[in-house]
Amino acid sequence: MTRFVGNFEHNLDDKGRLILPSAFRAKLAEGAFITPLDHCLAILPADEFDRMADRLEERVASGEVDVNALRHFASQADEVVPDSQGRVRLLPHLRELVGLDRQVIVTGALRRIEVWSPERWDTLGTAGAERLTEAIERGHGLGPS
């Protein structure tokens, strides 16, 4: 399974393209999907995008989730292949939807990459550290056994 970790500051170029961190490039060489997720843009390897789409389709079929959620998920996704310099396009309407400007924070989120505005990322920083500490203290499979 592909894992993405780390935190990187990057700038989008004049065409709205993101140069992927070198640690991520080979893992996405065959292509990826970019979609809005939780106030950021998620860059998902094809197998992870398929896994999420399959789960969403199952939940729609069972009546747990409205079909409009599936429509939104599919219609907002963009399939990309990094170019020879490791760049991927971030479509203008997707950048606008999650508040991205020129400067971005690129983070590994294990099964996906997330692209955040620096302001939103800073807001999450403290809360994320607190939630991780709580999970470790509760013994949710994290930390030493």
What pLDDT is stored for residue 143 in this prediction?
Answer: 56
Task: Among 8-17, 71-80, 93-102, 117-126, name the one with the lowest average pLDDT.
Answer: 117-126
CB atoms within 10 A of CB 21: 18
| C-alpha torsion 57→95→1→130, nearest 10 | -100
pTM of structure: 0.86
Domain ranges of the chain: 7-137
* Contact criterion met (CB below 8 Å) for 20 and 82: yes
Segment 33-75, tens digit of pLDDT: 999 998 999 999 999 999 999 999 999 999 999 999 999 999 9
| C-alpha torsion 33→36→12→5, nearest 10 | -70
Segment 85-112, tens digit of pLDDT: 999 999 999 999 999 999 999 999 999 9
pLDDT average, residue stretch 127-134: 69
- CATH annotation of 7-137: 3.40.1550.20
* Contact criterion met (CB below 8 Å) for 34 and 41: yes
